[in-house]
Amino acid sequence: MSGPASEGKPKRSAMVWILPLIAGILLLFGLRMAVSFYLQYKTSEGAPKLSDAERVVESLPGVKARRIGQILEAETWQKMAPRVRVILFVLGLFGILAWAAAILVYEYFFYFFAQGRRRNRFAPYVWLRWMVLTAAGVGVVCIFYGYFIEPNWLEVTHLDLHSSKLAPGSRVRIVLISDLHMARTVRLEPRVMKEMAEQKPDLIVFAGDAMNSSWVLGRFKQFLIEASQIAPVFTVKGNQDEGIAWDPKDIYRGTNARELTGQVETLDVRGNKIWIRGMANLQRYMSLPENPPPGNEFSIFVHHTPDEIFEVARDRYDLYLCGHTHGGQVALPFYGALITFSKFDKEYEAGLYRVGPTTMYVNRGIGLAKWPQPEVRFLARPELTVIDVTAE
């Protein structure tokens, strides 16, 4: 005689409710980070705002259809395009996480109130559930990676260039760093110093954006003093260095660094004459006194952003070094930076470019911009660039 039907019922594993509980906790952390991501954009002047879209909509009533495209392009679209990308990204992230949270709440409701009884599920819902939960899981992992792993994972990029302006058989090694954005928490600065010393450069270039807080002014100056013991250091001011949190005239004083404000500096590296010029973020190349580089000396121009490349290239500089974009700081696979805060948008977001006779390198920077970007890095690792210029 068979026993009661209840005796034959398989016992449900505790993992049935433990795993969704863990997933729910991770989703809460992910949503918290996503909220922080959005708030940091919202509170900044350069952040995406729905008022931009509202301004476009308000201009449409009574306008002929053939004029709509012209208005969007001439008045708002070039400024809105990067912001639209960020808005879509944030909404997509919020949407997936919120959708996954709703599915988990739904599943828990039936698990506890249906007393564990199996219920028929609509097949498309089962597929949709796993797709959404998988996407949310990947998103949460990416958020954790962007907060805790990539910002502390320095990449040393090596670049080889050739020039007929150097003596036969000679080489000049340049180390480029940018956008330290020092904060109260020490991140990569000790590693950067160690790497610079190991590379044994002939000169070090810092392309601006020193720190996020005046509390670390002393530590930043100590960083430059130690760097100047490795090789001559040439610096420019970035947009962050023009803030009111510290005296912008004082950040390089007493550091042995040579601040470039439009003047020309020269350096002799084993008989090779290096001609160096640069300027602060607020300066414009066309406003500098006319002084093109000599044709027989290797020339370098340093600026915080890539925005002056066309003007500099007209004077036939050999090398243009800059930063500012952070490689987007948040980039997407196969697409790249979401936003760069450069007038060229994504055209020069990071890496090596050739503009006429001038080679330009856009460094991704070391630190994390506090405003308006979130304090994460994703597919835009902190970068120290080693450039070897050898004779042809």
pLDDT digits (tens, 9 = 90+) for 334-371: 999 998 999 999 999 999 999 999 999 999 999 998 76
Looking at residue 67, what is its pLDDT?
A: 55
CA dist 220 and 186 (Å) reads 11
Tell me the per-residue pLDDT of 364-392, one tens digit each, with 9 for 90 and over.
Answer: 999 998 765 678 999 999 999 999 999 98
The topology under which CATH files domain 154-391 is: Purple Acid Phosphatase; chain A, domain 2 (3.60.21)
Residue 120: what are its φ and ψ, rounded to 5°? -70, 135
Looking at residue 48, what is its pLDDT?
A: 47
CA dist 178 and 369 (Å) reads 12
Residue 206, C-beta contacts closer than 8 angstroms, at least 6 positions apart: 177, 178, 180, 224, 227, 233, 234, 235, 236, 257
Which has the minimum average pLDDT: 46-50, 135-139, 291-295? 46-50
Which has the minimum average pLDDT: 22-31, 159-168, 245-254? 22-31
Query: Which residues face 275 on adjacent strands?
Result: 266, 299
What does DSSP assign to residue 167? P
Residue given tokens 């890095």 in the structure block: 377
What percent of the chain is modeled with pLDDT above 70?
Answer: 73
Looking at residue 121, what is its pLDDT?
A: 63
Structure tokens at 172: 């000049």
Residue 43: what are its φ and ψ, rounded to 5°? -85, 5
Looking at residue 222, what is its pLDDT?
A: 96
Question: Which run of H or of E encompasses 275?
Answer: strand 272-278
Looking at residue 389, what is its pLDDT?
A: 98
CA dist 44 and 370 (Å) reads 10
Q: What is the mean pLDDT of the chain?
A: 83
Q: What is the dihedral of CA 262, 255, 351, 153, to 10 degrees?
A: -160
Tell me the per-residue pLDDT of 316-329, one tens digit each, with 9 for 90 and over.
Answer: 999 999 999 999 99
- Pair type for strands 264-269 and 258-259: unpaired
Q: Report whether pLDDT(315) > 90.
A: yes
Q: Where in the chain is the domain with CATH 3.60.21.10?
A: 154-391
Tell me the per-residue pLDDT of 116-156, one tens digit each, with 9 for 90 and over.
Answer: 555 556 667 778 888 888 888 888 899 899 999 999 999 99
DSSP per residue, 45-97: TTS--HHHHHHHHHT-TT--HHHHHHHIIIIIIHHHHHHHHHHHHHHHHHHHH
The residue ranges of DSSP E strands in 155-271, in sequence order, are 155-163, 171-177, 203-206, 233-235, 258-259, 264-269
Looking at residue 280, what is its pLDDT?
A: 95
Tell me the per-residue pLDDT of 161-171, one tens digit each, with 9 for 90 and over.
Answer: 999 999 999 99
Q: Give the pLDDT band of residue 94 (cuts 50, 70, 90).
A: confident
b/e sequence 342-370, b meaning 16+ C-beta within 10 Å:
beebbebbbbebebeebbbbbbbbbbbbb
